Amino acid sequence: MEILQIRGGRRLEGSLRVQGAKNSVLPILAASLVSGAVSVIENCPALRDVEASAAILRHLGCTLRREGSTLIVDSGPVDRCDVPDDLMREMRSSVLFLGAVLARTGCASLSLPGGCELGPRPIDLHLSGLRAMGAEIAQEGSDLRCRTAGLRGCEIQLTIPSVGATENLMLAACRAEGTTVIRNAAREPEIVDLQGFLRAMGASVQGAGSATVVVEGSRPLTDCCHAVLGDRIAAATYLAAAAASGGDVEVRGVSYRHLSTVTGIFSEAGCHVCSEPDSVRLRSRGRLRGVGPVHTAPYPGFPTDAQAPVMAALAGSLGETVFVENIFSDRYRHVRELRRLGADIRTEGRVAVVHGVPYLHGAQVRATDLRGGAGLVVAALAAVGESEVAGLEHIDRGYEEIETVLAALGADIRRKESIRKDPDLYREGGDARG
| Contact of 155 with 142, CB cutoff 8 Å | no
For residues 10 and 121, which CB has a smaller minimum distance to ligand UD1 in the complex? 121
CB of 373 to ligand UD1, least distance (A): 13
Identified catalytic residue from 81, 116, 146, 174: 116
The CA distance from 167 to 311, in Å, is: 29
CB of 359 to ligand UD1, least distance (A): 30
224 belongs to the catalytic site: no
- The pattern of x and - marking residues 76 through 95 that bind ligand UD1 according to CB under 6 A reads ----------------xx--
By CB under 6 A, the count of residues binding ligand UD1 is: 21
123 near ligand UD1 (CB under 6 A) = yes
- The pattern of x and - marking residues 318 through 347 that bind ligand UD1 according to CB under 6 A reads ---------xx-------------------
Side chain identity, residue 156: I
The CA distance from 331 to 339, in Å, is: 15
Q: Which stretch binds ligand UD1 (CB under 6 A): 123-131, 208-216, 223-231, 351-359?
A: 123-131
Q: How is residue 230 annotated by DSSP? A: B
CB of 188 to ligand UD1, least distance (A): 6
With CB atoms as reference, the residue minimizing the distance to ligand UD1 is 164
3-state secondary structure of 42: strand
The candidate with the shortest Cα–Cα distance to 367, out of 296, 308, 305, 306, is: 308
| Contact of 263 with 275, CB cutoff 8 Å | yes
For residues 38 and 56, which CB has a smaller minimum distance to ligand UD1 in the complex? 56
Q: Which residues of 304-407 form beta strands (DSSP E)?
A: 320-324, 344-348, 351-355, 364-366, 386-390
CB of 156 to ligand UD1, least distance (A): 12
For residues 153 and 298, which CB has a smaller minimum distance to ligand UD1 in the complex? 298
Site for ligand UD1 in 138-177 (CB under 6 A): 160, 162-165
Q: Which residues of 240-348 form beta strands (DSSP E)?
A: 248-252, 272-276, 279-283, 294-295, 320-324, 344-348
- Binding ligand UD1 by CB under 6 A: which of 4, 25, 26, 34? 26
Does the N-terminal peptide bond of residue 300 adopt cis geometry, omega within 30 degrees of 0? yes
* 18 Cβ contact partners less than 8 Å away, ≥ 6 residues apart: 230, 231, 234, 235, 238, 251, 252, 253, 254
3-state secondary structure of 55: helix
3-state secondary structure of 378: helix
The candidate with the shortest Cα–Cα distance to 105, out of 129, 76, 125, 138, is: 76
3-state secondary structure of 353: strand
- Binding ligand UD1 by CB under 6 A: which of 305, 325, 337, 396? 305
For residues 63 and 210, which CB has a smaller minimum distance to ligand UD1 in the complex? 210
Kindly tell me the sign of the dihedral angle through the C-alpha atoms of 361, 363, 368, 373. positive
CB of 180 to ligand UD1, least distance (A): 17
For residues 124 and 143, which CB has a smaller minimum distance to ligand UD1 in the complex? 124
User: Strands 13-17, 248-252: parallel, antiparallel or unpaired by DSSP?
Assistant: parallel
122 near ligand UD1 (CB under 6 A) = yes
- Binding ligand UD1 by CB under 6 A: which of 121, 258, 340, 366? 121
124 near ligand UD1 (CB under 6 A) = yes
250 near ligand UD1 (CB under 6 A) = no
CB of 48 to ligand UD1, least distance (A): 13
The candidate with the shortest Cα–Cα distance to 198, out of 12, 31, 86, 430, is: 31
For residues 246 and 398, which CB has a smaller minimum distance to ligand UD1 in the complex? 398
Q: Which residues pair with 146 in a beta bridge?
A: 108, 137
- Binding ligand UD1 by CB under 6 A: which of 44, 125, 312, 377? 125
- The pattern of x and - marking residues 260 through 279 that bind ligand UD1 according to CB under 6 A reads --------------------
Tell me which residues touch ligand UD1 (CB under 6 A).
Answer: 23, 26, 92-93, 121-126, 160, 162-165, 186, 190, 304-305, 327-328
Catalytic residues: 116
